[in-house]
């Protein structure tokens, strides 16, 4: 096989595997959100709020890696269905501390359990060392791609 063909195969494999992983995650999110009676775009925000307890929108954006607009949409939705509350003293949008209400925490607990189950099943063929190596490799690839984006 020529180098050009190897590079093309590597690119196609990398690109298609990432796309398939993303599609699978989105399908799981959609299915589980439907079961919980919520919108799937809010799953990550609920999860982060459940894990961190109280956090501002800016930090949710940073932790999630999502666009600010997606997090804003999720927060507006979660406020509308009364799953979140803002620190009244800090009503400034992105600086205000946000936390889940009791109903939000109930759903957050279910989301956390489902995420833990999904991650365990998806990575069940890895031992601890290979899992750590895999995540380190993904992080390096992500960092390198981010550098290329910012050139």
Please report, for the domain that includes residue 82, its CATH number: 1.10.10.10
Supply the pTM of this predicted model.
0.84
Q: pLDDT higher for 110 or 10? A: 110
Q: What is the mean pLDDT of the chain?
A: 91
What average pLDDT score do residues 127-139 get? 93
Asked whether the predicted pLDDT for residue 147 surpasses 80, the reply is: yes
Number of domains in the chain: 1
Alpha-carbon distance of 102 to 80, in angstroms, equals 15
- Torsion region of 85: left, alpha or beta (phi above 0 gives left; psi -120 to 50 gives alpha): beta
Read off the pLDDT of residues 76-86 as tens digits, 9 standing for 90 and up.
Answer: 999 999 999 98
Alpha-carbon distance of 56 to 17, in angstroms, equals 33
Q: Tell me how far CA of residue 136 lies from CA of 70, 101, 117, 129, 142, in angstroms.
A: 27, 35, 22, 11, 10
Read off the pLDDT of residues 9-46 as tens digits, 9 standing for 90 and up.
Answer: 888 999 999 999 999 999 999 999 999 999 999 999 99
Do the Cβ atoms of 108 and 117 come closer than 8 Å?
A: no
Structure tokens at 137: 């490799």
**Which residue segment(s) compose the domain that 22 sits in?**
3-149
Alpha-carbon distance of 61 to 56, in angstroms, equals 9
Taking the mean position of all CA atoms in its chain, how far away is CA 110? 15
């Amino acid at each position: 096989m020529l180098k050009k063909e190897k590079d093309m195969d590597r690119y196609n494999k990398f690109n298609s595997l990432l796309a398939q992983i993303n599609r699978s995650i989105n399908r799981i999110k959609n299915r589980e959100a439907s079961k919980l009676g919520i919108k799937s775009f809010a799953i990550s925000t609920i999860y982060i709020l459940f894990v961190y307890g109280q956090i501002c929108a800016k930090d949710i954006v940073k932790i999630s890696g999502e666009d600010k607009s997606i997090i804003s949409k999720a927060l507006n939705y979660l406020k509308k269905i009364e799953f979140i509350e803002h620190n009244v003293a800090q009503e400034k949008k992105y600086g205000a501390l946000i936390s889940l209400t009791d109903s939000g925490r109930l759903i957050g607990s279910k989301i956390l359990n489902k995420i833990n189950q999904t991650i365990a099943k998806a990575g069940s063929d890895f031992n601890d060392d290979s899992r750590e190596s895999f995540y380190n490799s993904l992080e390096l690839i992500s960092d390198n791609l981010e550098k290329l984006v910012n050139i």
